[in-house]
Amino acid sequence: MKQIKLHQNIKILLSLLIIVSLWSCERDDICASTTSTTPHLIIRFYNINANSETKTVRRMDVTAEGNPKYIVNDKTTDSIVLPLRVDALDILNTSRFVLTKDRDYDTDDDPNTVSNADIIEVKYTPELIYVSRACGYKSVFNNLSATRETDLSNWIIDIQVIKDTINNENAAHINIYH
């Protein structure tokens, strides 16, 4: 009788131990691909003569100022996605981009078309936001502003900030009119 009672107690104790150990298990620390991460700056290009119509930029190159590596290379498009640098948190940061249209355009096709580069300066305040233990932190960019450096032949006529906080990549943050 004692032996049966002992076996029952051991079974109950083992069952409780298994339940408690399973209850304390956590899911794997893998960041899901659907989890939002640090967003990029999205710029849309519009027709200066019809502000609601998008307008493609022909054969565009984009580089960060002082860095010869292309972010966008020889692409005809009406929007671009650019990464923003984070030099320091919670203070104003600046990224400068060189946007060149009609890069090395074949002048036999149109002798009036000349390559033209404009520089835009984007200012923002980065903030770190905790996402999860698996994903860590992401940056959000607040107080977004953008200007164009003036030269003798700007192809960018106007810049308009649409959203002054970059926390996702669902829509454009800046519109450029040309």
Q: Which of 119, 167, 165 is nearest to 145 (CA)?
A: 165
pLDDT score, position 26: 57
pLDDT score, position 106: 55
Q: Is 27 exposed, middle or buried (0-12, 13-18, 19+ CB in 10 A)?
A: exposed
CA distance 162 to 43: 10
- In the chain, where the domains are located: 30-177
pLDDT score, position 50: 95
pLDDT score, position 28: 61
Residue pointed to by tokens 């671009």: 80
pLDDT score, position 20: 64
Query: Mean pLDDT in runs of 10 for the chain (178 residues)?
Result: 70 71 64 89 97 96 94 96 94 97 67 85 97 92 97 96 96 97
